[in-house]
């Protein structure tokens, strides 16, 4: 059932968040670490819907810190401490699982998160299959921008490897029509490209 899957995903993500907290909390200056709240499955045999989930109610402004669709840029990710720490959490999990698993849909109130998803590569990871498309992993790799918390944890930048792959085809092809294709891509991640171009010249 979807409800059981939802519980399984959130509680798996919660275990990763606990490991992340154990590594991040002792670091000087890191501060509070996002936590994924537990979600409990209850069985109600007499009810039409036999399974339901119960979790702590989060009071306050509910914010999406990471989004499924990379085209939707959420500035609260970059501008808030919780948002940055969520992005670092994603990067940390991605690195810990060798790029096989990513916690997605990080959302909640302040540092308390709920309703998260997990994307895995098609084959899954250690017997676990996520509930989100593995294209989220590709998207994360392309769009993630490291912040000070990534640096504190000593995470490897994803941008350098990604750009090398991107650059290779364009240097080989000399025919001009391709340049228009490159231009079309610029608005999508204008910011990233701008940094990239200025560092080139």
Is residue 193 in a domain?
Answer: no
* Number of domains the chain contains: 1
Average pLDDT, the chain: 80
Among this protein's residues, is 195 annotated catalytic?
Answer: no
What is the rounded distance in angstroms from the CA atom of residue 160 to the CA atom of residue 162? 5
pLDDT band for position 80 (cuts 50, 70, 90): confident
Is residue 145 in a domain?
Answer: yes
pLDDT computed for residue 68 by the predictor: 58
Is residue 187 in a domain?
Answer: no
Among 69, 79, 105, 115, the one annotated catalytic: 105
Is residue 175 in a domain?
Answer: no
pLDDT band for position 75 (cuts 50, 70, 90): low
Is residue 188 in a domain?
Answer: no
Q: What is the pLDDT of residues 185-196, one digit of tens each?
A: 444 444 444 343
Pick 51 or 186 by higher pLDDT.
51
Domain of residue 53 covers 2-153
Q: What is the CATH number of the domain that holds 28?
A: 3.20.200.10
Is residue 174 in a domain?
Answer: no
pLDDT computed for residue 107 by the predictor: 92
What length does the chain have?
201
Lowest mean pLDDT among 11-25, 107-121, 184-198: 184-198
Helix (H, G, I), strand (E, B) or coil at 108: strand
Backbone angles phi, psi at 103, to 5 degrees: -85, 125
Is residue 191 in a domain?
Answer: no
Of 81, 97, 187, 196, the closest CA to residue 140 belongs to 97
Owner of token pair 């989100």: 132
- pLDDT of 153 > 60? The answer is yes
pLDDT computed for residue 41 by the predictor: 92
Is residue 199 in a domain?
Answer: no
Q: What is the pLDDT of residues 32-44, one digit of tens each?
A: 999 999 999 999 9
């Amino acid at each position: 059932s979807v409800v059981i899957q939802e519980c399984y995903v959130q509680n798996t993500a919660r275990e990763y968040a606990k490991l992340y907290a154990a590594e991040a909390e002792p670091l000087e200056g890191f501060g509070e670490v996002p936590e994924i709240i537990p979600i409990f499955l209850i069985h109600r045999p007499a009810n039409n819907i036999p399974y339901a989930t119960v979790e702590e109610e989060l009071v306050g402004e509910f914010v999406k810190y990471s989004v499924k669709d990379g085209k939707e840029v959420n500035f609260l990710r970059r501008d808030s401490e919780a948002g940055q720490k969520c992005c670092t959490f994603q990067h940390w999990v991605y690195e810990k699982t060798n790029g096989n698993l990513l916690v997605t849909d990080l959302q909640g109130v302040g540092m308390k998160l709920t309703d998260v998803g997990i994307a895995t590569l098609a084959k899954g990871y250690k017997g676990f299959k996520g509930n989100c498309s593995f294209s989220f992993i590709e998207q994360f790799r392309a769009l993630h921008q490291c912040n000070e918390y990534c640096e504190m944890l000593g995470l490897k930048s994803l941008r350098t490897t990604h750009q090398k792959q991107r650059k290779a085809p364009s240097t080989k092809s000399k025919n001009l029509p391709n340049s228009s294709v490159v231009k079309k891509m610029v608005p999508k991640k204008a910011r990233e490209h701008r940094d990239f171009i200025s560092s080139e010249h």
